[in-house]
Amino acid sequence: MSDPLIFSILLGVLMVLLAAGLWVAVALIALALVALVFFANAPQGLVLATTLWGHSHSWSLASLPLFILMGEILLRSRLSGDMFSGLAPWLGRVPGRLLHVNVLGCAIFAAVSGSSAATAATIGRMSVPELTERGYPEKLIIGTLAGSATLGLLIPPSIILIVYGVATEQSIARLFVAGVLPGVMLVALFGGYVALRALIAPDDIPEEPRRFTLRQKLAASRRLIPVMLLIIGVIGSIYTGVASPTDAAAVGVLLATLLAFLSGGFRWRDFFDALLSATRTSAMIAFILLGAAFLAIAMGFTGIPRNLASWIGSMGLSPAALLCVLTVFFIILGCFLDGISVVVLTTSIILPMVEAVGIDPLWFGIYLVLVVEMSQITPPVGFNLFVIQGLTGIDILRVAKAALPFFGLLLLGVLLISLFPQIVTFLPQAMAG
């Protein structure tokens, strides 16, 4: 039986398992067992036991629950509200005015939460009522929130970059550093779009009745100090090499807890709620990663990834042509699966193809996250769309329509890092040097 036929059969089995409503992790383990039983000569039980045990105590993976816990603590504290109060006075005269609070607020919160959904929920809970009351158009409020919240996947500490690093054995610290400049690029693209819209249709943007003096602006900025200290403590310690991502995550949890209590309104009950929520999310992701690890080993026994990589190589596809095909593939896949599932489902099969045409796995990790960001705002399974629908009660198709321009901006971001890969590789090379 040919490899493309075997691959098609396994893909069909996976679609059936997922359509039946099985958990992603269970579906991955079941698919791996099918591959081993029917298409490989390997002891299934032994491979399952050794793989699950060997991948269940990864030190790199320890940073994942810690960063998730840090985001959950911030979600329940007053620090997110302080961000709005600290940013708003500076943006009253900028084209687009307070819509930029969504962009910058999401960027700042992304740098301490690592989660796209948590970013959308936290900033949306704070900004949507405020901007609606001030008369900003619903489409722009929802669009800027949905698009900017995707930054939670890219700006470090990114949960999905940790997942990619563990799944592909890439350095998580280098992946974090590689995500900084692309994150800044997206913030600039989103902010530029908001300003351009405001200049084209100035009547859509209400006037800000209040004017702030420089002293008042500086006084309001003090509210940003705790969050900025947290960002510097976490990202700075990784970039300078003082701490590994796991050590920095532990420092982040400690600082987030301390700042949350000091800011007021955060009680022990909130801390325990954050702990339980982080445990549930971490267990789900860890279970998916174990299933993906078993599938990767099983696929290795079948020889399909190696043969497919050779087949792709023999087709003579250029790196650009392969990336175009993969972009369409990931966008379609992201319409039905969440971002983490997309990463763990595909890396074991896609990475050999990518390396076969000479694409840097570090660069590919950032590319993959950018494409997965698009899937967060594409129906029917765009997680950011669900979060915003839950916050506002607005129909999900209206939310998706409002987010469409930001889907285009993310696509432009993919094009820019493809044309100028130094956007991704400059900082990791500088750190190594």
CA-derived radius of gyration, the chain: 22
- The residue behind tokens 């059936």 is 16
What is the mean pLDDT for each group of 10 consecutive residues in the chain (433 residues)? 73 80 81 85 81 72 78 76 74 80 83 73 77 85 88 81 85 88 93 90 76 76 79 77 79 86 84 88 78 77 69 73 85 71 77 84 92 78 73 80 90 93 90 68
The one-character DSSP state at 10 is H
pLDDT of residue 419: 92
pLDDT of residue 358: 84
Q: Where are the domains of the chain?
A: 20-432
Could you give the count of Cα atoms lying within 13 Å of 130 in the half-sphere of its Cβ? 17
pTM for this model (two decimals) = 0.75
**In terms of Cα–Cα distance, which of 64, 309, 90 is closest to 212?**
90
pLDDT of residue 188: 93
pLDDT of residue 91: 75
Q: Are 178 and 424 in contact (CB under 8 A)?
A: yes
DSSP per position, 196-230: HHHHH-GGGSPP------HHHHHHHHGGGHHHHHH
State the virtual CA torsion across 127, 129, 130, 133 in degrees, nearest 10: 150
pLDDT of residue 335: 67
pLDDT of residue 337: 66
pLDDT of residue 332: 74
Q: Are 113 and 75 in contact (CB under 8 A)?
A: yes
Task: Report, in this order, helix, strand and coil percent for the chain, each rounded to 5.
Answer: 80, 0, 20
**In terms of Cα–Cα distance, which of 175, 133, 78, 230 is closest to 369?**
175
Q: Are 25 and 163 in contact (CB under 8 A)?
A: no
